[in-house]
Structures are given as C-alpha cells and as structure tokens.
Amino acid sequence: MKGRSINPGIWLALVTAVGLLQGCATLGPAYKEVSETPSDKSTVYIYRPSNFVGGGVSYYLYANDKIVTKLYNGSYYPYITEPGTVEFWAQTESKSEVELNLDAGKTYYLRGTVGMGIMVGRPHLTIVPEDTAKLEITECNLIPDSNWEEEKIKEENERREMLGI
C-alpha cells in the first residue's frame, strides 16, 4: 500500500488560509483609557500597532500560564491584575517573553509586534515607556473579552480537521 502525500500547492494554500483566518477579528471601539483602576491592582495595556508586515498573524498572549488575550494587528487590551512579578509571553514558531514587576495603582505598557518567521510571523514583546505607548496605542481598537482557553481549543481542532490529522 502506497503512502499518500499532500500536493505542495494544496499544503501551502491550507497553511495560508489558516494564517489569514487567524488574523481576522471583530474589534471594539478605538482606544480609551480605563476610567478607574482599583488602587490595589495594576493595569497593563497590551497593544499591537497596525502594521502591514505580519498583519494577518495573531497570537495568544499569556500572563504566567493563563491566556490573557489574543493579540491582533491594530488592537489593544487593558489587563487589570494583582501586583507582583508577571511573566508575559507569546509563541508562534518562536517564543518572546518579558517579565514585569507590577506595583499596585500603577500602569504599564506592553507592545506586541510580529517579525518575519520561517512558516509564520514571530511575536516580539517589548515594555514601552508611557509617552511612546500613548502615541502608538491611539490607533488601536479594543479586543473584546472572550473565553480564550475555549477558543484556542476550538482553533486547534479546526486546524487538525483541515489538515486531516
């Protein structure tokens, strides 16, 4: 019995379609500061300025081992959390991570971008000063809340089904 292989053209089309579908999102309103953060919490604005390079790539962003949001091109998410040390990370074919020591009542800015990769764009996370972030984030739209763990499982199942795994 002969093994079956997928035509390289079909394989490329499937990978491209999955990548493009990943980048599609319905975003909310334009950037607006959180009106009031409790004094015993920290706020981290996680954002990704709009850019043509890697525009179709989106990725999950984690705080320690919990998915916080899915970062899309031209999007932002205000993450309100307990103070303390938090490792933020994202991964596609490579992993980017930054550690922040969050103080109560303070605001931080974490910029995500996408660089060139072999098969898919690679995430890059950077801690950004407030003055720089405020210039960049104004063009971003809010990422609506979602059950990200459930969504990730659903996406993985759809990918497996498309690839016949």
Closest CA to 39 of 91, 107, 139, 126: 107
Tally of CB atoms within 10 A around 162: 13
pLDDT, averaged across the chain:
82
pLDDT at position 137, please?
96
pLDDT tens column, 99-144: 999 999 999 999 999 887 666 778 999 999 999 999 999 999 999 8
Is the model more confident about 87 or about 22? 87
For 119, half-sphere exposure in the C-beta direction (CA atoms, 13 angstrom radius) is 12
- What are the b/e assignments for 35-65, b being 16+ CB within 10 Å? eebeeeebbbbbbbbeeeebebbbbbbbbee
Which pLDDT band holds residue 25 (cuts at 50, 70, 90)? low
Please say if the pLDDT value at position 26 is more than 90: no
Tell me if the pTM is above 0.85. Answer: no
Q: Where are the domains of the chain?
A: 8-163
What is the Cα–Cα distance from 147 to 131, expressed in whole angstroms?
32
Lowest pLDDT segment from 2-6, 53-57, 64-68: 2-6
